[in-house]
């Protein structure tokens, strides 16, 4: 299994570089219409080649950057379905992240482990550096963080769970604030990482229960995932109300008085766009294109009239 660690900041438009090595591809960007990676999300994919990949954000550091934003770790893992680390590291890590960050458990194991393994001095030194020595140090420090977590190997739930929630498709969905749904989602993630299932699992903050309530209500982003017929598992936000700008990220922890990490590369956006805001932007864009077309037609007609008069 290969692990990659990135340091970012809440609301940063452009993420920071990876520390000591980066993945060959940014596969998580495929799910950008379901997850705002500047906030909270998880994606897992597994094909028929016996390999899997996952990306999760954030792991809180408990520190601020110079602009007053929360400094956050983001983790990318890739591995083979038959590797020991799949059940001893990857799945237990996802389970703990779901419990602490998404479920808001009153523990700080992830924060303490990664903050201690990657202090400010190390972040500054490994930022954007991917040489052999940098990669080895990152691997050593990631292993150090995992050892401090003392993760228990994952074992699937024995409780009977319902099948896909949307009839007529290979889609199962649950709600993030429901513990049973989070557990079932983790069971389905375990199938993907073990190679007994083929498809994707996504926890997104841009998809809501109303987007997946029935086949006729599926959003375009969700329909895209179901087109190949593979297993799709979604853990969505409840209802149909977008997160408001300024809301505290679930699982956020108090900031410690530690020194700041490296500064960001872009200022924080003014807020999280709502669904109505996105629809309004699309409408205005289309209206602008329509006006431009009318102006072009008017100009052409004017030219034809002038030519005929001459």
Rounded average pLDDT over 262-279: 43
**pTM across the whole model:** 0.74
Mean pLDDT rounded to a whole number for the chain: 81
In angstroms, rounded to a whole number, what is the distance separating the alpha carbons of residues 19 and 16? 9
In angstroms, rounded to a whole number, what is the distance separating the alpha carbons of residues 74 and 63? 14
User: Considering just the CA atoms, what is the radius of gyration of the chain in Å?
Assistant: 23
Cα 118–Cα 52–Cα 156 angle in degrees, nearest 5: 90
- The neighbour count for residue 139, using CB atoms within 10 Å, is 16
Which pLDDT belongs to residue 288? 60
* 156, pLDDT greater than 60: yes
Which pLDDT belongs to residue 188? 95
* 69, pLDDT greater than 90: no
Residue with tokens 């993030």: 176
Burial class (CB in 10 A: 0-12, 13-18, 19+), 183: middle
Higher pLDDT, 134 or 166: 134
94-123 residue pLDDT tens: 999 999 999 999 999 999 999 999 998 999
In angstroms, rounded to a whole number, what is the distance separating the alpha carbons of residues 83 and 139? 17
Residues 6 or more apart whose Cβ sits within 8 Å of residue 236: 173, 174, 175, 176, 204, 207, 208, 209, 211, 212
Higher pLDDT, 276 or 229: 229
- The neighbour count for residue 22, using CB atoms within 10 Å, is 16
* 53, pLDDT greater than 90: yes
Highest mean pLDDT among 78-87, 227-236, 253-262: 78-87
Residue 10 gets the label, from left (phi > 0), alpha (psi -120 to 50) or beta, of: beta
208-222 residue pLDDT tens: 998 888 777 788 888
Which residues on adjacent β-strands are paired with residue 160?
A: none
Which residues on adjacent β-strands are paired with residue 6?
A: 18, 74
* 271, pLDDT greater than 60: no
Residue with tokens 């590797």: 83
Q: Is there a contact between 59 and 46 (Cβ–Cβ < 8 Å)?
A: no
| Strand, helix or coil for residue 26 | coil
Q: H or E element: which one contains 280? A: helix 275-309
Burial class (CB in 10 A: 0-12, 13-18, 19+), 33: middle
In angstroms, rounded to a whole number, what is the distance separating the alpha carbons of residues 26 and 145? 23
Nearest to 220 by CA among 42, 90, 33: 33
Higher pLDDT, 284 or 196: 196
Q: Is there a contact between 31 and 43 (Cβ–Cβ < 8 Å)?
A: yes
The CA-to-CA distance between both ends of the chain, in Å, stands at 76
Per-residue pLDDT band at 35 (split at 50, 70, 90): very high
């Amino acid at each position: 299994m290969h692990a990659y660690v990135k340091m970012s900041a809440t609301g940063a438009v452009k993420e920071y570089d990876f520390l000591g090595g980066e993945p060959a591809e940014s596969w998580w960007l495929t799910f950008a219409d379901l997850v705002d990676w500047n906030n909270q999300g998880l994606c897992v994919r597994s094909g028929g080649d016996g390999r899997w990949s996952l990306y999760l954000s954030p792991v809180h550091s408990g520190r601020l950057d110079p602009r007053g934003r929360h400094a956050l770790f983001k983790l990318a893992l890739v591995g083979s379905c038959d590797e020991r680390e799949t059940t001893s590291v990857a799945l237990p890590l996802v389970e703990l992240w779901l419990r602490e960050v998404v479920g808001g458990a009153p523990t700080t194991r992830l924060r303490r482990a990664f903050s201690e393994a990657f202090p400010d001095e190390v972040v500054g030194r490994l930022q954007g550096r991917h040489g052999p020595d940098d990669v080895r140090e990152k691997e050593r420090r990631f292993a150090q963080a995992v050892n401090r977590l003392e993760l228990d190997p994952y074992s699937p739930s024995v409780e009977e769970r319902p099948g896909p929630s949307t009839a007529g498709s290979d889609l199962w969905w649950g709600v993030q604030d429901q513990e049973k749904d989070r557990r079932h989602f983790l069971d389905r993630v375990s199938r993907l990482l073990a190679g007994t299932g083929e498809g994707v699992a996504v926890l997104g903050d841009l998809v809501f229960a109303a987007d997946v309530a029935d086949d006729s209500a599926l959003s375009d982003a969700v329909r895209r995932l179901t087109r190949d017929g593979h297993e799709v598992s979604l853990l969505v936000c409840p209802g149909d109300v977008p997160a408001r700008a300024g809301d505290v990220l679930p699982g956020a922890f108090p900031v410690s008085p530690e020194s700041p990490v490296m500064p960001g590369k872009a200022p924080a956006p003014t807020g999280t766009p709502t669904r109505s805001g996105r629809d309004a932007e699309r409408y205005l864009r289309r209206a602008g294109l329509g006006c431009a077309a009318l102006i072009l037609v008017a100009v052409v007609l004017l030219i034809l009239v002038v030519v005929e008069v001459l």
